[in-house]
Structure 1
Amino acid sequence: MKTFLAKKETVQPKWYLIDAAGVPLGRLAVKAANMVRGRHKPTYTPHVDTGDYVIVINAEKVVLTGKKEEQNEYMFFSGFVGGESYRKVSLMRERHPEFIVKHAVKGMLPQNIIAAKMLRKLRVFAGPTHTHEANNPQKVTV
């Protein structure tokens, strides 16, 4: 019996919808990362992008346990000397709540070029509405 290896041409991605309201960030990120990567499929092949499209709604209502909301910070670098700046999670939740989910999922993907293509399949929305109704996404519970 031969080992099955998926090819880029044969992969047919589906669309999934995840509601982030009241879900811990880590559990949500693991589920989304595995679906974007294709680990939930029996045809998963590590060197081919076999993943599906994932839509995350209600990113502003994702839950962080403990004191992570006040203690955790995201670091940004402008590229200039002394251009380091830090922003707390609470500030990012006010301004860009979708960044929190995208950043968590990005950290759970492999650090290579395929992961950059996989991350394009993740669509995160702060509120309960999204712009991909025409794709008929299947609702997934976390």
Structure 2
Amino acid sequence: MSIIQRSQQWGTFARIWHLYDAKWQDPYLSAERIKMYLMGLYKPIYHPLNDCGDHVVVINSYDIALRGDEWRRRAYFHHTGYHGGASWTMAWEVHKKNPTMIMNKAVYKSMKGNLQRRYSMQRLHIFKDENVPENIMQNISNQIKQLRPVPLRLDEIPPQEVAEFPKLVKYPENYIAQ
């Protein structure tokens, strides 16, 4: 076996660490993309009974964005196991208590029907902000592209760029807005 073939084989069977920035991303749409890496769906050796997935580190789960008014309408079910122990908790309350829980539940739900789901979820590492332990950051070798680009806020745009932006209408000096 040549050196090139050995490196291809090593790359196929190795567990790669991926980084995903969840800032301003929908967790349920992001979960579909993260699932591909956790289960190893993109690898040529994938099989439903084969555990060949990679590690995924998700950062900024505190800044996720649900569509429309899902913060008020989406509810999560929990049961304590005792009689009358069923409860429904709104998404904003769950996110306030644990900022990583919604992303965790979204990825778990996206892998429905997967026999290896329990073991795949052990390779998902979610952090509420950009503070990731150094030993995990040393392992990361790939970045998963975000679904939507994060827009700049107006106060983040430099004043020179704002001044150079082309104007559609040039108002006269004595113009008074009503």
Would you say same fold, with TM above 0.5?
A: yes
Alignment partner, residue 140 of structure 1: 144
Residue 98 of structure 1: how far off its partner (Å): 0.6
Q: Which residue pairs with 2:36 in the alignment?
A: 34
Distance 1:112 1:19 in 2: 25
Q: Do the aligned partners of 2:100 and 2:128 also contact (CA within 8 Å) in 1?
A: yes
Cα 1:89/1:65, change in 2 over 3 Å: same
Matched, 1:95 2:97: yes
Aligned-CA RMSD value: 1.5
Q: Structure 1 regions of 5+ residues with no counterpart?
A: 1-9
Q: Which moved more, 1:11-20 or 1:36-45?
A: 36-45
- Offset at residue 128 of structure 1 (A): 1.2
Q: Percent identity?
A: 25
Q: CA deviation at 1:42?
A: 2.1
Mapped to 1, the partners of 2:60 and 2:87 lie a distance apart of 27
Shift of 1:134: 2.1
Task: Give the letter aligned to residue 140 of structure 1.
Answer: I
Based on CA coordinates, which of the two structures has the bigger radius of gyration? 2
**3-state SS of the aligned residue for 1:18?**
strand
Q: TM-score, normalised by structure 2?
A: 0.70
SS of residue in 1 equivalent to 2:57: strand
Q: What aligned pairs does 1:96-115 form with structure 2 within 5 A after superposition?
A: 96-111=98-113, 113-115=115-117
**Aligned residue type for 1:84:** A
Equivalent residues of 2:49, 2:115 under 8 A apart: no
**Per-residue deviation at 1:22?**
1.0
Residue deviations 1:9-33, cap 9 Å, x none? x831100000000111222111111
SS at match of 2:116: helix
Specify the alignment match of 1:12 in structure 2: 14
CA contact under 8 A between 2:19 and 2:144: conserved in structure 1? yes
The gaps in structure 2 that reach 5 residues or longer are 1-11, 147-178
- What's the TM-score, normalizing by structure 1? 0.87
SS in structure 1 opposite 2:87? strand
SS in 2 for 1:97: coil
Q: C-alpha distance in 2, partners of 1:130/1:107?
A: 25
Shift, 1:113, TM fit: 4.8
Q: 1-side partners of 2:72 and 2:34: how far apart?
A: 25
Runs of 4+ more than 2 Å apart: 110-113
Measured against aligned partners, the alpha-carbon deviations of 1:55-97 in whole angstroms (never above 9, x if no partner) come to 0000011110011100111111011110011111101111111
